[in-house]
Amino acid sequence: MITFKKSCDISFAKALVKLNMASYYEQYNIVWSDERFEQSWNEFENIQILKGGAKVGVLRLWIAGDALYIRDLQISKDHQSNGIGTSAVSYSQNIAKLENLKFLKLRVFESNPAKELYKRLGFVESKREGFIISMEQEIA
């Protein structure tokens, strides 16, 4: 069973994001910064994703204007492709509805296969900036 806990272990989250994003950062010549990650921690709602009580991911959300932004959605590699990302997007959609927001938005690297998940879940590309794709879906 997938559950979402509104308090999140920053050490777990930082290590997971750094590990999952390492190949993209290398590909796009981006330097990881622990300090920047830690400074941004309080800007977002940081949610622990659990499977059977075990930490398997992190979801970081941010409200701006009429949209809820998925700032980060990271799933441990050994738990990917098991519906956890879909559950996290559904969880985010429900928050957007509860907050009466019009859009759910995110950004993804163009080479990240997660963009296919987002397309399947109804996101459309709204903008491209270099290797970053902005995607959004309207909340009914």
Residues 6+ away with beta carbon under 8 Å from 36: none
Strands 132-138 and 124-129: antiparallel
End-to-end CA distance of the chain: 26
Q: What is the pLDDT of residues 87-131, one digit of tens each?
A: 999 999 999 999 999 999 999 999 999 999 999 999 999 999 999
Q: What is the pLDDT of residues 63-86, one digit of tens each?
A: 999 999 999 999 999 999 999 999
Q: Which CATH architecture has domain 2-138?
A: 3-Layer(aba) Sandwich (3.40)
Amino acid at 33: S
- The predicted model scores a pTM of 0.94
Domain ranges of the chain: 2-138
CA distance 115 to 136: 11
- Residue from 86, 76, 91, 69 nearest 6 by CA: 91
